[in-house]
Each structure stands twice: as C-alpha cells, then as structure tokens.
Structure 1
Amino acid sequence: MRFRGILRILGLLICLFSVTLLPPALVALIYADGGGVAFMLAFAVSLVIGFVVWYPNRHDRSDLKARDGFLLTVLFWTVLGSVGVLPFLFTEQLPLSVTDAVFESFSGLTTTGATVLHGIDSLPHSILFYRQQLQWLGGMGIIVLAVAILPMLGIGGMQLYRAEIPGPLKDAKMTPRIADTAKHLWYIYVMLTAVCAIAYYLAGMSGFDAISHAFSTIAVGGFSTHDASLGYFDSSTINTICVVFLLLSSLNFAVHYAAITGRSLRSYLDEPEARAFILIQAVLILVVFATVLTNDLFDDTGTAFNQAMFQAVSISTTAGFATTDFASWPLFLPILLIFASFIGGCASSTAGGLKVVRVVLLYRQGMRELHRLVHPSGVFSVKLGNRVLPARVVDAVWGFFAAYALVFVVIMLGVLATGVDNITAFSATAACLNNLGPGLGEVAANYSDIPDMAKWLLVIAMLFGRLEVFTILVLLTPTFWRS
C-alpha cells in the first residue's frame, strides 16, 4: 500500500475542496448575512489541513494501484465530509452539536437530503447556498472532477474512476482517456444544471432559489432553501420542471453523451436500462395517481396527477423533494414509494438505490433459474440488450445485492437498538442507504429528534449507499491489507 502517495493526493484534494468554501463566502457578502467570517475561517482551516497532509509527502510520485484507489476513495469521502462540517460549526446563527453538524454535512455531500435543521427559511443565505452546493459537488462525485484535474498534477485517475463510478459495468468508458471521460461527464452535468436553473427562474423562482434548487435537482439530492421544500412555491409548473430534470439526472450520463454526440434520441430507446427505468417510472406514476384519485386527496384531476407524478418521481429517484406529506397518504403508498427508492436510478447517474440495471439483471437471472427448473438440460444466458453477460458480472450483481441487504439489516438493527420505533428505523435506514432523505414515522420531515447514536449509524449508511457498499466492505477484508 502506497500510504505516502495516498496522503499526498488526499492533501491536494482537501486543498481543492477548500476552494469551494469561497462561493458561499461571496454569497454572504452579497446578502450581508453575517456568514462570511465562518466560511473564510473554514476555508483557512481546511486549506491548512490539506497543506499539512500534502507537504510531508509532496515528493512521492508513486502510481496508484487498484487497492490504493479504493482506500483513497473512502478516505476522501470521509475526510471531505468531516471538513465540510466546519462551516456548520463556525456559523453563529446555526447552533448545532457536532453530531448534527456531521449528519448535515454527510447528508449533503452524499446527496441523501436528510436534515436535522429547523427554520430553514430564516437561515443565512450563505448556509443555504452551501448546503445546496454540497449536494451539487457530491452528485457527480468530486473525485470524478479530480480525475479530470489530477493528470495535470502527474497523478493517474483510472483507479479512482473505477472505485467511484457506480454500476456493475465499470470498465465501460465513453472516451479512450479517463480524464476526457470525466470532463465530458462534467460538461453534461454543468449544462443540465444551467438549463434547470433557467427553467426554474422562468417558472417564477428567484435567481437564488433557482440556482440553489438546480444544484440539488441535478444532483438528485433533495435539499431545499425552504422548510416546505418545493411545496413552498405551490406551482405545478415548477413541479413538472423538477420531474423532468430528476428523470434526466437519473439516466445514465453515458447515454446522454451518446445522444448528444450522435444527435439522436435513439440512444435512450436503444439502451435497455433506460427503457426499464422509464417503464418503472410510468407504472409507478399511474399506480400513485390512481390511488390518490380514488381516495379524493385533491380537489381536481389535474392537481392529483401533478402531485402523484411529482411524489412518485421524487421518492423513487431518491431525490426526496416534497410538496405534500406523502407519509400521511393512505393505504400502501408510503411503503410503496420507500420500496421504489431501493431501485433508484440508472447506473452512472446521480441517483441512489440499487440501480435499475442491477434490478433488471436480478430479474433476468431469476427468470433463467425458473427456465432451468422446467428445462434442466437447457442452456440459458443472461442478456443486457443484445449483449450476453459473463457469469462474473451476474455473480457480482448477486453479491452486491446480498451485501446491500446485509448492510441494511445490520444498520437497521443498530438503529432499533437506540430505542427508535420499527417504522422509523426501517424507513430511516432505507432512506439513508438509498440516499433518499425523508422517511416515515419520526423522520418523515426531520431527523433532529432521533438519538445521536442513530444519527451516526445513519451517516455510515449514507456512505455505504454513496460508495455502493463494496468500496467500503473491501477495506474490511484481511486480504486487502496484505502486501
């Protein structure tokens, strides 16, 4: 293990992250909200931390290997989440305990969207902007940005890319050079953010709200600048814009790249995962719409459809925006939406969950086993589109599902042990592991009332969900640490 090389890169990345504390300081200056000192202090402290980590190891030029990439990825997210706590602790208008500050920071960076804050509308603009920016940076992954920048520093990025990009087909790249791949990902990401912000602004949001909500929408994060989330605006147009961009952000960004370069929408129709994702969303919207319409939850059909569409897409894509209290909806809807978040979005998107491609492969593998029962001598393969997948990929998907379920059960039991009721523990664990945010019971709107130990366990769940379980679990195996 090349520890000195890892520390050198980690120090550089912390220094890079410290620069992201300057935009909120500028926002504090523009709105004169008194938060500028806190962000400048946080900038100075994080810059010093990065320098102290980098300087003793600055001459180490060793190349990263696969194991180094996994360790650096986990260290980067945990250290970055910890450094991200500083503005929350230094802001006088925001009296948070260390536990609550850590929870809020990791929730933002992992795009979970769970919050412990009350009275969000009255918070300084700088803090509001910082929360949204955290989600935007975490949405695509700051490491992907670093992959584009590190080659200029003489650091290879392939190992980081493989550890960070979600999905079972990690070796698929859009362009031959990994740095070019990361840059193209960010071009698309920034373009979607800009178009989303303009659409929100034209629909009636202020410039500040439009940019802030574009950040969390494209990141599929769910943080808002208002306690009532998007329900604050009471606009069907804004709801529809949010749905459109949540769906776009939950699709594989490689498919966006193919559609842009090929100048054709056929890429979305030809991609089996994208087709499955659209089908799942359509069925879910229709089920939710039919249920709310049958139970007369809204005054007219148009409002019922808009609300059903918004909540179905927001929860299932793991964004967690709200326009109404979905936890109080009748029958099976709250549980249905929570379970839908386990599927999440597509691989290589900013959404959380298991990812649609894995669910599709699990289904097809299950069908293959049924066919084998009927025809024991038959030879059946698992396909994704026209591509026959090797057994290694199918085995990896089943292994991921088993690990995901195991982590879920262990963390949920831990949360239950802190005294939280069953529904709250189940939904909170699901919401944090799937990077969703809102749950049911005590965490339907806010996580401030659950015990501190439960919050720490849920922070761990957020990291497992963001890093897709195996990236962390591999560090717990003795084999990983053997030279």
Structure 2
Amino acid sequence: MRYRGILRILGMLIGVFSFTLLPPAVVALIYGDGGGLAFIASFVISLIIGFLVWNPQRHVRTDLKARDGFLLTVLFWTVLGAVGTLPFILTTELPLSVTDAVFESFSGLTTTGATVITGLDSLPHSILFYRQQLQWFGGMGIIVLAVAILPMLGIGGMQLYRAEMPGPLKDAKMTPRIADTAKHLWFIYLFLTIACASAYAFAGMSWFDAICHAFSTVAIGGFSTHDASLGYFASSQINMICVVFLLLSGVNFAVHYAAVTQRSLLMYWRDPESKAFIVILSVLMLVVFFTLLSHDVYSNTEQTFDQALLQSVSISTTAGFATADFSAWPVFLPLLLLFASFIGGCAGSTAGGLKVIRVLLLYRQGIRELNRLVHPKAVYSVKLGNRALPNRVIEAIWGFFSAYALVFVVVMLGLLAVGLDEVSAFSATAACLNNLGPGLGSVAANYADVPGLGKWFLVIAMLFGRLEVFTLLVLFTPTFWRS
C-alpha cells in the first residue's frame, strides 16, 4: 500500500474541495444574510487541513494501484464529509449538534436527501445554497472531477475512476483517456444543470430557487430550499420539468454521450438498461395513477396524473422530491414506491439504488436457472443486448446483492436496537442505503427524532449506498491489507 502517495493525493483533493466553500460565502454577501463568516472560516480550516496532509508528502511520486484507489476513495468521501460539516457547526443561524451536522453533510454529499433541519424557509440563503451545492458535487462525484485534473499534476486516475463510478461494468470507457472521459461526463452534467435551472426559472421559480433545485435535480438528491419541497410552488409545469430532468439524470451518462456524438436519439432505446428503466417507470406510474384514481385521493384526473407521475419518478429514481405525503397514500402505494427505490436508476447515472442493470441481469439469471431445471444439459447464456456476459459478471452481481442484503440487515437491526419501530427502521435503512431520503413512519418528514446513535448507523448506510457497498466493504477484508 502506497500510504504516502495516498496522503499526498488526499491532501490535494481536500484543498480542491475547500474552494467549493467560497461560492456560499459570495451568496451570503449578495443577500447580506450574515452567514459568510462561517464559510470563510470553514474554507481556511479545510485549506489548512489539506496543506498539512499534503505538505509532508509533496515530493512523493507514485502510481496508484487498484487497492490504493479503493482506500483513497473511501478516505476522501469520509474526510470530505467531515470537512463538509464545518459550515453547519460554525454558523450561528443553524444550531446543530455535531451528530446532526455530520448527518446533514453526508446526506447532502451522498445525494441521499434525508434531513434533520426544519424551518428551511427562514434559513440564510448561504446555508440553503450550500446544502444544494453539496448534492451537486456529490452527484457526479467530485473524484471524477478530480480525475479530470489529476493528470495535469502527474497522477494517474483510472483506479479512482473504477472505485468511484457506479455499476458492474466499470472498465467501459467512453474515450481512450480516462481524463477525457471524466471531462465529458462533467460537460454533460454541467449542460443538464444549466438547462434545468433555465427551465425552472422560465416556469416561475426565482433564479436562486431555480439554480438550487437544478443542483439537487440533476444530482438526483432531493434537497429543497423550502420545507414543502416542490409542493411549495404548486405548479404542474415545474413538476413536469423536474420529471424530465430526473429521467435524463437517471440514464447512464455514457448513453447521453453516445447519443450526442452519433446524433441519434435511438441510442436510448438501443441501450437495454435505458429501455428497461423507461418500461419499469411507466408501469410503476400507471399502477400509482390508477390506484389513486380508484380511491378518489385527488379531485380531478389531471391532478391525480401530475402527483402520480412526479412521485413515481422522484421516489423510484431516489430523488425524494415531494409535492404530497406519499406515506399517507392508500393501500400498498407507500411500500410500492419504497420498493421501487431499491431498483433506482441506471448504472453510470447520479441515481442510487441497486441500479437497473443489476436487477435486469438478476432477472435474466433467474430465467436461466428456471430453463436449466427443464433442460439440465442445455447451455444458456445471460445476454445484455446482443452480447453474452461472462459468468464472472453474474457472480459479481450476486456477490453485490448478498453484500447489500447483509449491510441492510445489520443497519436495520442497529436502528431497532436504538428504539425505532419496525416500519421506521426498515424504511430509514432503505431510504439511506438507496440514497433516497424520505421514508415511512417517524422518518416520513425528517430524521430529527432519530436517536443520535441511529443517525450514525444511517450515515454509514449512506456511505455504503454511495460507494456501492463493495468499495467500502472490501476494506474490512483481511486480504485487502496483506502486502
């Protein structure tokens, strides 16, 4: 393990992250809300931390190996989340305990969207902007951004990219050079953010709200500048804009790149995962719509369709935006939407969950096993499109699913042990491990009433979800630490 090389890069990345604390200070200056001092102090502290970590190793030059990339990724997200708590702790307008500050920071950075804060409408603009910005940087992964600039500093980035990017097919690159791949990802991400903010503004949001909600929409995070979330605006047009950009952000960004470079929208339909993603969401929305309609939950068909569409897409893509309390919807709908978040979006997107491609391949593997029961001597293959996948990929997906289930059970038992009821414990675990945010029971609105130890369990679940379980779990294996 190249510890000094890892510390050198970690220090540099913390230094890069420290500059993201300056935009909220500028927002505080523009709106005169008095929150700028906390962000300036946080910037100075984090810059000093980065320098102290980097300086003793500044002359170290080494290439990262796979193990180094995993360790650096976990360290960076953990340290970055800790540094991100500074503004929440230092600001006087938002008195939070250390536990609550850590929870809010990690929830933002991992794009979970769970919150312990109430009274958002009365908070300083700088704090509101900072929460949204955290989700925006966490959405694509600030490490992917760092990979784009690290080659200029003489540092290879492939190991970081493999550890950071979601999905089972991490070796597929859009361009020959990994730095170019990361740059293209961020160009697409930035374009979607600008387009989303412009659409929100034209639909009636203030530019501040439009930019903030664009950050959390494209990141599929779910944070809002208002307690009522998107329901504050009471606009079907804004709801539709949110749905469109959640769908775009839930698709593999490599497919976006292919559609742009080949100038063909058919790329979305030719991609098996994108096709399955649209089919699953369409079926889900129709089930929710007709169930709400049959129970006369809303006064007219148009409003029913608007609520069914937004909540289906928002919950299933793990965004968690709300225009209604879906936990109070009739019969099986709350659990159906919560279970939909287990699927999440496509691999290579900003969504959470297991990812559509994994669920799709697990389904096809199940079909293969059923066929083998009927014809034991026949040879069947699991295909993705026209390509037969090696058994190693299927084994890795089953391994991921097993590890995911183990983490889920451990976290849920921890929440039950600290006093949460069964429904709240189950939904909180699902919401945080899938990076969804809102749950059921006592965590339907926010997580303020969760005991302190329970919040630490959920922070761990957020990290496991954001790093796709294996990246973090591999550090607990003895093999990883053997030289």
Q: Aligning the two structures, in what range does the TM-score lie when normalised by the shorter sequence?
A: over 0.9
Work out the CA distance in 2 between the residues paired with 1:480 and 1:292. 50
Q: CA offsets per residue over residues 38-83 of structure 1, 9 Å max, x none?
A: 0000000000000000000101101110000000000000000000
Work out the CA distance in 1 between the residues paired with 2:297 and 2:197. 31
Q: CA offsets per residue over residues 432-463 of structure 1, 9 Å max, x none?
A: 00000000001001100010000000000000
**What residue number does 1:133 align with?**
133
**What residue number does 1:304 align with?**
304
Work out the CA distance in 1 between the residues paired with 2:17 and 2:390. 39
**What residue number does 1:472 align with?**
472
Structure 2 unaligned residues grouped into runs of 5+: none
Work out the CA distance in 2 between the residues paired with 1:295 and 1:282. 20
**What residue number does 2:121 align with?**
121
Q: Which amino acid aligns with 1:87?
A: P
**What residue number does 2:187 align with?**
187
What is the percentage of aligned positions where both structures have the same residue? 77
Number of paired residues? 483
| Per-residue deviation, 1:210 | 0.2
Work out the CA distance in 1 between the residues paired with 2:326 and 2:382. 37
**What residue number does 1:94 align with?**
94
**What residue number does 1:229 align with?**
229
Within-5 A mapping of 1:398-417: 398-417=398-417
**What residue number does 1:2 align with?**
2
**What residue number does 1:251 align with?**
251
Work out the CA distance in 1 between the residues paired with 2:153 and 2:79. 21
**What residue number does 1:28 align with?**
28
Work out the CA distance in 1 between the residues paired with 2:402 and 2:367. 18
Q: Which amino acid aligns with 1:285?
A: M
Within-5 A mapping of 1:121-270: 121-270=121-270
Work out the CA distance in 2 between the residues paired with 1:151 and 1:477. 30
Q: CA offsets per residue over residues 73-124 of structure 1, 9 Å max, x none?
A: 0000000000000000010000000000000000000000000001001000
**What residue number does 2:51 align with?**
51
Q: Which amino acid aligns with 2:232?
A: Y
| Per-residue deviation, 1:229 | 0.2
Q: CA offsets per residue over residues 293-343 of structure 1, 9 Å max, x none?
A: 001011110110010000000000000000010000010000000000000
Work out the CA distance in 1 between the residues paired with 2:122 and 2:254. 39
Work out the CA distance in 2 between the residues paired with 1:473 and 1:37. 38
**What residue number does 2:340 align with?**
340
Give SS of 1:20's match. helix
Work out the CA distance in 1 between the residues paired with 2:331 and 2:58. 60
Q: Which amino acid aligns with 1:325?
A: D
Within-5 A mapping of 1:282-361: 282-361=282-361
With normalisation by structure 2, the TM-score equals 1.00
**What residue number does 1:463 align with?**
463
| Per-residue deviation, 1:288 | 0.2
Q: Which amino acid aligns with 2:289?
A: F
Work out the CA distance in 1 between the residues paired with 2:267 and 2:258. 6
Give SS of 2:245's match. helix
Work out the CA distance in 1 between the residues paired with 2:298 and 2:244. 22
Q: CA offsets per residue over residues 403-424 of structure 1, 9 Å max, x none?
A: 1011001100011000100000
Work out the CA distance in 1 between the residues paired with 2:317 and 2:214. 16
Q: Which amino acid aligns with 2:23?
A: P
Work out the CA distance in 2 between the residues paired with 1:269 and 1:315. 23
Q: Which amino acid aligns with 1:86?
A: L
| Per-residue deviation, 1:387 | 0.5
**What residue number does 2:451 align with?**
451
Is the counterpart of residue 441 in structure 1 residue 441 in structure 2?
yes
| Per-residue deviation, 1:266 | 1.0
Work out the CA distance in 2 between the residues paired with 1:269 and 1:97. 48
Work out the CA distance in 2 between the residues paired with 1:237 and 1:426. 34
| Per-residue deviation, 1:477 | 0.5
With normalisation by structure 1, the TM-score equals 1.00
**What residue number does 1:481 align with?**
481
Work out the CA distance in 1 between the residues paired with 2:295 and 2:225. 31
Work out the CA distance in 1 between the residues paired with 2:234 and 2:144. 36
Q: CA offsets per residue over residues 250-278 of structure 1, 9 Å max, x none?
A: 00000000000111101101000000000
Q: Which amino acid aligns with 1:378?
A: A
Work out the CA distance in 1 between the residues paired with 2:261 and 2:23. 32
CA RMSD of aligned residues (A): 0.3
**What residue number does 1:62 align with?**
62
| Per-residue deviation, 1:383 | 0.2
Work out the CA distance in 1 between the residues paired with 2:68 and 2:458. 26
Give SS of 2:416's match. helix
**What residue number does 1:72 align with?**
72
Q: Which amino acid aligns with 2:299?
A: D
Give SS of 2:255's match. helix
Q: Which of structure 1's runs of 4+ aligned residues deviate more than 2 A?
A: none
Work out the CA distance in 2 between the residues paired with 1:63 and 1:251. 32
Q: Which amino acid aligns with 1:205?
A: M
Work out the CA distance in 1 between the residues paired with 2:35 and 2:7. 31
| Per-residue deviation, 1:465 | 0.1
Q: Which amino acid aligns with 2:324?
A: T
Work out the CA distance in 1 between the residues paired with 2:195 and 2:159. 32
